[in-house]
Chain A
Amino acid sequence: MKTTTLVSVRRRIRSVRNTQQITKAMEMVAGARLRKIERKIHITRSYGKELNRILLNVLPVLTGDESPLLVSRPQVKRICFVVMGADRGLCGAFNTNIIRYAEQFIAEKGKEAKVVACGRKMVRHFQKRPFELLMKVSDLYRSFSLPLTDAITKKIVESFENGSVDEVYVIAPRFINVMQHSMHSFKILPLSLPTISKELEAEKVKPSKETEERVNGGYELEPDTATLCHHLLKEYISHTLFKWLLETLTSEAGARMVAMRKASDNAQSVIDTLSLEYNQARQRSITAELLDIVGTVEALK
C-alpha cells in the first residue's frame, strides 16, 4: 500500500500550483512583450523603407571603392562575430541553440575570432571563451534603440577600418512564428553593393514617384559621394543590426511563451495526477474507517 498521507499530497499540489501560477504569469508577460515588439516592428518599417529608398538613389552612381567599408581584404585573418541572444533564461533551448550555432559557425570559419555579445546570456558564455570580447551589450529589451545599434556599428566599423578585424559576421535568430525561429548568419562587413541591391530588390523597394523620373543619378550628393556613401553605409549597417535585434527579441519572446506554456501544461498534468492520488487516499481512509465501524458493530452484536 502507498504510504502517501493526505497532508503531504495536499502540500505537493499546493507547491505545484504555485509554480504553475508563476509560469502562467511569465507566459503572459512574454506574450505582452511579443505584441509590443511586433508593434515596434511595424512602426520602424516606414523608416527602413525610406532609408532603403535613399540607398537606392545613391547605389547606381557608386563604383564600389567610395568607402573602405566596401573593400574586401585579400587575406582574412581575424573575424568579428556579432552574436545576438537573450538576456535571461527560461525560454527553452533558445540560448543554447544560438550558442551552439555560433560556436559551430566560428569553428567553421577557423580564424582568429572576436566577439560582440548582445544579450547577457551571450556575454556570460563568451566571457568564458578565449575570444576577445569587443563589446558587451546586456539588458537588450530596455537599452534597445538606434543609438545602441549606432554604438555597435561604430565599434565594428572602427575595428574593421583599423585592421584589427578583416570581416564581420552577424549571427542571430530569425523569427518565423511564435513556435519557430531559425538561425541565421550573414556577412555585414565588408559590404558589397550587389548584396545590398539584391536585398533591396527582395524587399521590393521602389523609388518614390518623383525620384523615378529622375533615374537615380539626379541627386547631388553632399558633401561628396565618398563621405555621403560612408555615412549612408553606416546608417545601413546600424539599421540592419536594429532589424536583427528586433528579430532576436521577437524570437526570444516567442520561445519564452512556448516554454512557459509547456511548463504550465506540465504543471497541470502533475496537479491532475496528484489530485487523483489525493482522492484515492482520502477514499481509502474513509473506507477503512467505515470498515472499522461496521466491524465494531458486528462484534458488539
Chain B
Amino acid sequence: MKLKVRVLSVDREVLNTEAEAIVAHAPDGEFTLLPNHIPVIVPLKIEKVELLGAASAGDKNQPLAVHGGVLRTDGKEVLILTEAAELPEEIDKERALAAKERAERRIAQAKISEEIDLTRAEAALMRALLRLKMTHH
C-alpha cells in the first residue's frame, strides 16, 4: 500500500500523488513516515521533504522544499500544509542566491539599525538556504 500525499500551500496545490514513504523534518529531528503510521499531527521545519518512490516522479524519489507548516497523517493519507513549497525544478537558483545575499546583508545591518526586522530577515535567509540546497541536488 502506498501513502496518498497531498502538499498544499496557500496559493496552490503543489503536489497530489502517492509515495512509498516520506522523510521530513520536525523541530526535534528527521523522521520517516511509512504507510499505516499511527495518526499524527506534527509541525515541520523549513527543510527538505523527500517523497520516496513518488508516483509523480516515476516511482523515483521526489524532493521538495517545504517552508514550514504542519503535517497530518492518518496512516493512509498525508497532508502537508505549508506557507510555500517548491519542486526543485521550480527554484530559480540565481534568485535564491540573490535573496540569500540580501538576507545576510540585512541581518548584518540589523545589528546596527533597528529599522530592519531581524526575524523577517532570518526567515528569508532560511528559505533562501533551503532553496539553494535543493538546487544542488
For B12, the closest partner residue in chain A by CB is A43
Q: Which of A225-248 contact B (CB under 8 A)?
A: 227-228, 231-232, 235, 238, 242
Contacts A54-B70, A231-B70 hold; do A151 and B11 have CB atoms under 8 A apart?
Answer: no
For A222, the closest partner residue in chain B by CB is B42
Q: Taking each of A155, A211, A221, A222, which has the highest tally of chain B beta carbons within 10 Å of its own beta carbon?
A: A222
- Whether the pair B27, A227 counts as a contact (CB closer than 8 A) is yes
Q: Is A124 an interface residue (CB 8 A)?
A: no
Contacts A46-B8, A50-B81, A211-B74 hold; do A151 and B117 have CB atoms under 8 A apart?
Answer: yes
Contacts A43-B12, A154-B119, A210-B76 hold; do A218 and B39 have CB atoms under 8 A apart?
Answer: yes
Q: Is B40 an interface residue (CB 8 A)?
A: yes
Q: Which of A140-163 contact B (CB under 8 A)?
A: 145-147, 150-151, 154-155
- Whether the pair A40, B11 counts as a contact (CB closer than 8 A) is yes
- Whether the pair B41, A235 counts as a contact (CB closer than 8 A) is no
The CA of A47 and the CA of B27, in the complex, are separated in Å by: 22
Q: Is B95 an interface residue (CB 8 A)?
A: no
The CA of A219 and the CA of B67, in the complex, are separated in Å by: 23
Contacts A227-B27, A232-B70 hold; do A58 and B84 have CB atoms under 8 A apart?
Answer: no
Q: Is B90 an interface residue (CB 8 A)?
A: no
Q: Is B57 an interface residue (CB 8 A)?
A: no
The CA of A220 and the CA of B26, in the complex, are separated in Å by: 14
For A231, the closest partner residue in chain B by CB is B43
A203 to chain B, nearest CB (A): 16
For B115, the closest partner residue in chain A by CB is A136
The CA of A218 and the CA of B40, in the complex, are separated in Å by: 8
Q: Is A284 an interface residue (CB 8 A)?
A: no
- Whether the pair B81, A146 counts as a contact (CB closer than 8 A) is no
The CA of A154 and the CA of B13, in the complex, are separated in Å by: 26
Report the number of A-B residue pairs with Cβ-Cβ less than 8 Å.
Answer: 90
- Whether the pair B40, A221 counts as a contact (CB closer than 8 A) is yes
Contacts A50-B81, A151-B117 hold; do A223 and B123 have CB atoms under 8 A apart?
Answer: no
Chain A residues lying within 8 Å of B105, measured Cβ to Cβ, are none
Which one of B9, B72, B83 contacts A150 once the chains associate, using CB atoms below 8 Å? Answer: B83
The CA of A175 and the CA of B39, in the complex, are separated in Å by: 38
Q: Which of A195-234 contact B (CB under 8 A)?
A: 210-211, 214, 218-223, 227-228, 231-232
- Whether the pair A223, B28 counts as a contact (CB closer than 8 A) is yes
Chain A residues lying within 8 Å of B9, measured Cβ to Cβ, are 47
Q: Which of B73-93 contact A (CB under 8 A)?
A: 74, 76-77, 79, 81, 83-84
Cβ contacts A236-265/B at 8 Å (1 or 0 each): 001000100000000000000000000000
Chain A residues lying within 8 Å of B39, measured Cβ to Cβ, are 214, 218-220
Which one of A44, A211, A231 contacts B11 once the chains associate, using CB atoms below 8 Å? Answer: A44
The CA of A214 and the CA of B76, in the complex, are separated in Å by: 13
Q: Which of B43-73 contact A (CB under 8 A)?
A: 43, 67, 69-70, 72
8 tightest A-B CB contacts, nearest first: A146-B83, A222-B42, A231-B43, A220-B40, A151-B120, A219-B39, A146-B10, A210-B74
Q: List 5 A-B contacts (CB under 8 A).
A: A54-B79, A135-B117, A210-B77, A222-B42, A228-B41
Given contacts A47-B9, A47-B81, A146-B84, 7 further A-B pairs with CB under 8 A are A47-B10, A57-B72, A146-B83, A147-B120, A222-B26, A222-B41, A231-B43
